[in-house]
Structure formats: structure tokens, C-alpha cells
Structure 1
């Protein structure tokens, strides 16, 4: 018997995880990361963005392009893009 599939995280759960992850990389508190402010304004540079993308891959089991963060530069946009990608991958 096959184990039931784990439900994909919601957009809100993804946003929460991304907020905590980004805050860690830019040495801020998660409460300081606004969902609609570009991550580059918090000091997320290309090196830390690459590491965040690797964390996304590890956490979600997705292969993501390194340009993902630049194409979706806010927590809100990025979490929605990831939710859409997870839905496509599972669909």
C-alpha cells in the first residue's frame, strides 16, 4: 500500500518559511521582512540568493533556476510562484 502524498504547503506557509529563511540570510528578524518589498532591499545579494534557491530545492524537492528570486523579487511573489510550481509538479 502506498503512503498518502504529503499535501503541498500553502502559499501562506511558503511565505512564512521564505520570510524566516531570508531573514536568516540578511541578519534580520522575520518581522522586519515585508511581503511586498524586494528582497534586494534587505541586502539579499546574488550569493545569498543562490543559497536561498538551494534551500528551496532542499525544502520543497523542486529544481529551481537561480533567476527565480530575481524574476519574483518579493516574498509574496516568490511564494506564489513556488506554490504554482508545486501544483504543476504534483498535477
Structure 2
């Protein structure tokens, strides 16, 4: 069963908050991650986290190409929908 957009949003928000060392409720879904000061090393780590968590491949430029949590959720949902169901 694929995660809901809310599940993905919560996961991303928690992961980004961890990297930024701020509470997750400080991360707004429509604010560019660069505005929070997400460093490139963490943006790259986020790519690996997304690939590990969801089993999809993403580009290393993920956080720049999809600069908000909302945009990232949309991409992840799109990629998950394109993955054939196991079974």
C-alpha cells in the first residue's frame, strides 16, 4: 500500500526538521527549503533518504528542482504511482 500524501509530507517534514535541528512544526510545506538554510550536504542526504524510504530513484538536484515540501510530496507520489505494485 502506497503512503498517502500526508504520510509523505509528515515524513519529509520530520526529516528536514532533523537536518535543520528545528521542531517539525517550524517547517511550512510551501516555503522553499533554501529559505530555511538547508545546506547542500543535507539536500543530498535527503535524496538518499527518499530513495531508501520509498524505493524510488531521485536526482541529486531534488531539493533544488522541487524546492518545497509540497513539491517534493508531489514528485514522490508521482514516482510511487509509476512503480509497479509488488505481488
TM-score of the aligned structures, taking structure 1 as reference length:
0.89
**RMSD of equivalent CA atoms:** 1.0
Query: Is structure 2 residue 72 aligned with structure 1 residue 78?
Result: yes
> How many residues were matched structurally?
85
1:36-87 residue CA offsets vs partner (Å, 9 max, x unmatched): 0001111112110000110111111111111121111000110111001100
> With CA pairs under 8 Å and 6+ residues apart, which has the higher RCO, 1 or 2?
1
The structure number with the bigger radius of gyration is 1
Gaps of 5+ in 1: 1-6
Gaps of 5+ in 2: none
